[in-house]
A and B are shown apart, each in its own frame.
Chain A
Amino acid sequence: MYRYTDFDAAFVAERNAQFRAQVERRIDGSLTEDEFKPLRLMNGLYLQLHAYMLRVAVPYGTLNSTQMRQLAYIADTWDKGYGHFTTRQNIQFNWPKLRDVPDMLDALAEVQMHAIQTSGNTIRNVTADHFAGAAADEIADPRPVAELIRQWSTDHPEFQFLPRKFKIAVTGSPNDRAVTKAHDIGLRMVRNDAGDPGFEVIVGGGLGRTPMIGKVVRDFLPEADLLPYLEAVVSVWNLLGRRDNKYKSRIKITVHEHGLDDIRARVEERFALLKPAFTGVDQQLLASMKADFAPPAFTDRDTGPFDLAYANDPLFRSWADTNLSAHRAPGYAIAQISLKAHGATPGDATSDQMRLMADLAERYGHDELRVSHEQNIVLPHVHKADLPAIHAALKDAGLATANIGKISDIIACPGMDYCALATARSIPIAQEIATRFDQLKLEHEIGDLKIKISGCINACGHHHVGHIGILGLDRAGVENYQITLGGDHTETAAIGQRTGPGFAADEIVPAIERIVDTYLSERTSAEERFIDTFARVGMTPFKTALYGEADKRAKAA
Chain B
Amino acid sequence: MPAIFTPKVITANALIEGDVVYLTETDTWSRRLQDAEVLTDEADAQIRLIDASARTDEVVGAYLADVKPGKPGPKPAHFRESYRAKGPSNYPHGKQSEAL
Determine whether A and B are in direct contact in the complex, meaning some CB atoms lie less than 8 angstroms apart.
yes
**A→B interface (CB under 8 Å):** 26-27, 29, 32-33, 47-52, 80, 94-99, 345, 416-418, 425, 427-428, 431, 474, 477-479
Asked if B61 and A47 sit within 8 Å, CB to CB, the answer is yes
CA distance A52 to B13 in the complex (A): 9
**Which residue of chain B lies nearest to A50 when distances are taken between CB atoms in the complex?**
B94
CB atoms of B84 and A49 under 8 A apart: yes
**Given A49-B83, A98-B16, 9 additional A-B pairs, CB 8 A:** A27-B16, A47-B60, A50-B20, A50-B84, A50-B87, A51-B94, A80-B93, A97-B18, A427-B88
Chain A contacts for B90, CB-based, 8 A: 345, 417, 427-428, 431
Please, which residues of chain B bring their CB within 8 A of the CB of A94?
93
Q: Which residue of A27, A50, A80, A96 contacts B57 across the interface (Cβ within 8 Å)?
A: A27
Q: Which residues of B contact A33 (CB under 8 A)?
A: 56, 60-61
A50:B88 contact, CB within 8 angstroms? yes
User: Are the CB atoms of B56 and A32 closer together than 8 Å?
Assistant: yes
Pair B83/A416 contact, Cβ less than 8 Å = yes
Number of interface residues of B (CB under 8 A): 25
Do residues B15 and A98 form an inter-chain contact, with CB atoms below 8 A? yes
Checking A98, A474, A477, A478 against B18 with a beta-carbon cut-off of 8 angstroms, the contacting residue is A98
Q: Say how far B7's CB is from chain A's closest CB, in angstroms.
A: 15
Is B19 close to A, CB under 8 A? yes
B79: nearest chain-A partner, CB-CB:
A479
With A33-B56, A97-B16, A479-B79 known as contacts, the answer to whether A418 contacts B61 (CB < 8 A) is no
The distance from the CB of B17 to the nearest CB of chain A, in whole angstroms, is 6
B26 within 8 A of A: no
CB-CB contacts below 8 Å: B63-100 with A: 77-80, 83-84, 87-91, 93-95
Would you give the shortest CB distance from B82 to chain A, in whole angstroms?
A: 10
Chain A nearest CB, measured from B13 CB (Å): 6
The 8 closest A-B pairs by CB, nearest first: A417-B88, A52-B18, A51-B18, A50-B94, A345-B90, A427-B90, A98-B16, A428-B89
Are B80's CB and A95's CB within 8 A? Answer: no
Distance from A345 Cβ to chain B, minimum over Cβ atoms (Å): 5
Task: Give Cα A80 to B79, complex, Å.
Answer: 25
Report the minimum CB–CB distance from A530 to chain B (whole Å).
27
Residue of B nearest to A99 (CB): B16
User: Considering the chains assembled together, what is the distance between the CA atoms of A48 and B19 in angstroms?
Assistant: 9
Provide the residues of chain B in CB contact with A29, threshold 8 Å.
Answer: 56-57
Q: Roughly how many angstroms separate A444 CA and B30 CA in the complex, as a whole number?
A: 50
B89–A417 CB distance below 8 A: yes
Bound: A547/B79 CA distance, A: 27
Contacts of A431 in B (CB 8 A): 90
Which residue on chain A has the smallest CB distance to residue B56?
A33
5 A-B residue pairings within 8 Å (CB atoms): A33-B60, A97-B18, A345-B90, A416-B80, A477-B78
A33-B56, A49-B84 known; A27+B89 contact, CB < 8 A: no
CB distance from B74 to the nearest CB of A (A): 16
What is the bound-complex CA distance between A29 and B15, given in angstroms?
A: 12
Assembled-state Cα–Cα distance A339/B57 (Å): 39
- Shortest A194–chain B CB gap in Å is 54
Q: Which residues of A contact B56 (CB under 8 A)?
A: 29, 32-33
Residues of A within 8 A of B13 (CB): 47
Q: Which residue of B lies closest to A49 (CB)?
A: B84
Task: Please give the distance in Å from A95's CB to the nearest CB on chain B.
Answer: 7
Find A47's partner among B18, B87, B94 (CB 8 Å cutoff). B18
Q: Which residues of A contact B91 (CB under 8 A)?
A: 80, 345
Q: CA A491 – CA B79 in complex, angstroms?
A: 39
- What is the bound-complex CA distance between A369 and B93, given in angstroms? 29
- In the bound complex, residues from chain A placing their C-beta under 8 Å from that of B60 are 33, 47
Q: How far in angstroms is the closest Cβ of chain A from B12?
A: 10
CB distance from A35 to the nearest CB of B (A): 11
